[in-house]
Structure 1
Amino acid sequence: MVAEEIRTFGAIQVMIGLINFALGYIWIRLFIRQYTSFSLTYIPLTLFSGYPFWASLIYVISGIFAIEAEKKRYPILLEYTIRMSINSVALSVAGQLIILFEITLFLVKHVKSQWSHQSGIILSVYLWMFSLVELILAKKVAKWGIKTIDNTSYNI
């Protein structure tokens, strides 16, 4: 992979982290303002798990490590980049499962959805899409880190 690609992937990971945080904030605002309409009809597991917030932190840190590791190529930075990318992959998979479970729980109930439910599903779908993109990027960055370590024969 070209060096600029890894920097770009790292920058995109940072942006995805910030977008996840923003979507989580919007989710909180929606839930607080429309608490009575959610009740037991729609249970926002994604919001209750805190996924948008802890995922955004991990994604941003992972992206920063990817950018710095590509610039400096220190063995310790490469190791941290690989570890954080693997954490991002695991977190993305966990987030996708939580979101799919949330949406499935709501759709199985067959209740008439209100605008707040539809907005919640849209926010969850956006979170799902961004976690899918993060999964792909983090996987590529981890592969790059492992390949770089193998090619330069660093002893980590």
Structure 2
Amino acid sequence: MPQNQILIKEEMRILGAIQIMNGLIIQFLGTIWGYLLISQTTALLSVYIPIVTLVGYPFWSTLTFIFSGAFTVVMQKRPSLYTISYAILGNIISSCIAVLGLLLLIFELSVATFLVETSIWQMRSAKMLSGYLFLFTALELFVASVATHWAYQAKKSNLNT
């Protein structure tokens, strides 16, 4: 085996594709959340404050998730120390954004659970959308962490040889 070849796991391309699709799903959930917020303003704002949507988390986080997934795919296709470094940096930023989103969603869901007594369909829809955002954000955190770990291992093994 040549000395300058970098060994990267085959699954990295799949992780990158998962990150890209996950970013698109979060974008679409944010769009649905925004539509619900605009169309049902009188019913929602009096009892449910959508912190995550008002901050714009589904829209700006999507960019980091898609870019980190793209860097991960590029790292798998054209492995070099630069692409590995970009993939590691992109996935670390993506993980930080996902943690921030999880904290915002936990706060939003806890406020909605403890302060809201009414159970109208708009409220159930809002909680459901926030719950889906929570699940997909947790998935992004997990995938970005695994991709960062594998990329760091590949970079470390290449530097040691």
Decide which structure has the larger Cα Rg and report it.
2
Q: Which runs of 4+ in 1 moved over 2 A?
A: 1-4
Q: Tell me which amino acid in the other structure corresponds to 1:43.
A: I
Counterpart-to-counterpart distance in 1, 2:101 and 2:45: 23
Q: What is the root-mean-square deviation of aligned Cα atoms in Å?
A: 1.4
Of residues 77, 83, 96 in structure 2, which corresponds to 1:90? 96
How many residues get paired? 154
Of residues 16, 24, 27 in structure 2, which corresponds to 1:21? 27
1:133 aligns with 2:136: no
Residue in structure 1 matched with residue 57 of structure 2 by the alignment: 51
Task: Give unmatched runs, 5+ long, in structure 2.
Answer: 1-6
Task: Give unmatched runs, 5+ long, in structure 1.
Answer: none
Query: What SS does the aligned partner of 2:49 have?
Result: coil
Query: What SS does the aligned partner of 1:130 have?
Result: helix
Task: Measure how far apart 1:3 and its partner are.
Answer: 3.1
> Percentage identity across aligned positions?
34
Q: Tell me which amino acid in the other structure corresponds to 2:151.
A: G
1:103 aligns with 2:109: yes
Counterpart-to-counterpart distance in 2, 1:4 and 1:134: 19
Task: Measure how far apart 1:110 and its partner are.
Answer: 4.0
| TM-score w.r.t. length of structure 1 | 0.94
Residue in structure 2 matched with residue 148 of structure 1 by the alignment: 154
Counterpart-to-counterpart distance in 2, 1:89 and 1:21: 17
Conserved in 1, the CA contact under 8 Å of 2:8 and 2:154? no
Kindly provide the CA deviation profile for residues 58-86 of structure 1, in whole angstroms up to 9, marking residues without a partner as x. Answer: 00000000000111112111111001101
Counterpart-to-counterpart distance in 2, 1:47 and 1:114: 20
Query: What SS does the aligned partner of 1:42 have?
Result: coil
1:35 aligns with 2:62: no
Is the alpha carbon distance of 1:21 and 1:110 closer, same or farther for their aligned partners in structure 2, counting shifts above 3 Å? closer
| TM-score w.r.t. length of structure 2 | 0.91
